[in-house]
Structure 1
Amino acid sequence: MVYKDLQKAKKRYNDQREDLGEEFKTEVNKELAYIKAYPEHYQQKYKELRQSLVTRFPYAIFYLVEEEKKRIIIFGVLHTRRNPEIARKRIK
């Protein structure tokens, strides 16, 4: 699902302006790197899900930190106008 979220957003931005999709991808990757380095930086916003905002673009990354398994699970990269419940439903 996350891959589809990213593909749709990247295509939408490329349709607006050539290479804007690549700029979006770069900003998302920067934020993912930050989440990897500091997974607990963002507070739990939607029950156990944390939300990180993407710089320059109105998108949020929804993720969960599994401390026992030492991993981060991304449940969505969604436009901030979309209902965050979409990401929460993906947990199940």
Structure 2
Amino acid sequence: MSYKIKLLPIVHTDLRKAKKWYHEKSETLAQEFKIEVNKEIDYIGEYPEHYQRKYKELRQSLVTRFPYAIFYLVEEEQKQIIVFGVLHTRRNPEIIRERIKK
């Protein structure tokens, strides 16, 4: 059974910035990035507990072909996934911990 996916507003900003960066390199690359992120989010919706916990209940999934990680939380009772961020893997994961506290 698929879980409902909820992206926090800041996630849209993360994605916009990343896609813009890739678009400056190549329009095709930007589209491929978008496709891979969407595939990974769909996979998380189907198999939310596939990835291990990284910080308390927060899980991390890596995007295929791109150095980005999706940080999310599983709300089992509501059958919902909350995505807290899509960040480049070189960025400090402390950013996500701060988002959780808000």
Bucket of the pairwise TM-score, normalised by the shorter protein: over 0.9
Q: CA deviation at 1:19?
A: 2.1
Q: CA deviation at 1:87?
A: 1.1
Check conservation: 1:75, 1:88, Cα contact below 8 A: no
Distance 1:14 1:61 in 2: 20
Q: Partner of 2:20: helix, strand, or coil?
A: helix
- How many residue pairs align between the two structures? 92
Equivalent of residue 21 in structure 2, options 7, 12, 15: 12
Shift >6 Å, 4+ stretches: none
Q: Partner of 1:19: helix, strand, or coil?
A: helix
Runs of 5+ unmatched residues, structure 1: none
% identical equivalent positions: 75
Q: CA deviation at 1:15?
A: 0.2
Distance 1:17 1:68 in 2: 42
What's the RMSD between the two structures over aligned residues? Answer: 0.7
Q: CA deviation at 1:18?
A: 2.0
Letter matched to residue 25 of structure 1: K
Q: CA deviation at 1:70?
A: 1.3
Letter matched to residue 15 of structure 1: E
Give the TM-score, by structure 1 length: 0.96
Equivalent of residue 49 in structure 1, options 28, 42, 58: 58
- Structure 1 partner of 2:35: 26
- Structure 2 partner of 1:80: 89
Give the TM-score, by structure 2 length: 0.87
